[in-house]
Amino acid sequence: MSGNIQTRTLQLVARDIGEPLLTKLFEPTNPDRVRRFSISTDDVDRYSDVLIQAGIDLTHYRSNPVVLLNHNPADLPIGRAVAIEVQEKETLMDVEFLPAGMDESVDKVVERLEAGFMWAGSVGFLPKSTVRRSQEPNNELFEKYPLAERVFTVWELLEFSIVTIPANPMALAKSLNARYLGPEDVNQFTKSGKQTDTATDPDFDEEAVLKALEKYKDSIL
CA distance 93 to 14: 10
Strand partners, 118: none
CA–chain centroid gap for 136, Å, is 27
Tell me, what's the pLDDT at 81? 97
pLDDT of residue 5: 64
Judge whether 84 and 94 are in contact, CB under 8 Å: yes
pTM, full prediction: 0.70
**Which long-range contacts link 2-5 to residues 24+ away (Cβ below 8 Å)?**
4/126, 4/127, 5/124, 5/125, 5/126, 5/158
Helices (H), the chain: 104-115, 141-144, 169-179, 206-220
Rounded average pLDDT over 131-137: 97
Give the three-state DSSP class for 50.
strand
Has residue 170 got a pLDDT over 80? Answer: no
* pLDDT tens digits along 116-129: 888 788 899 999 99
Per the CB < 8 A criterion, the answer to whether 52 and 152 are in contact is yes
The amino acid at 45: D
Give the integer Cα–Cα distance in Å for 68 and 95. Answer: 11
pLDDT by residue (tens digit) across 21-62? 889 999 999 999 999 888 888 988 878 999 999 999 999 999
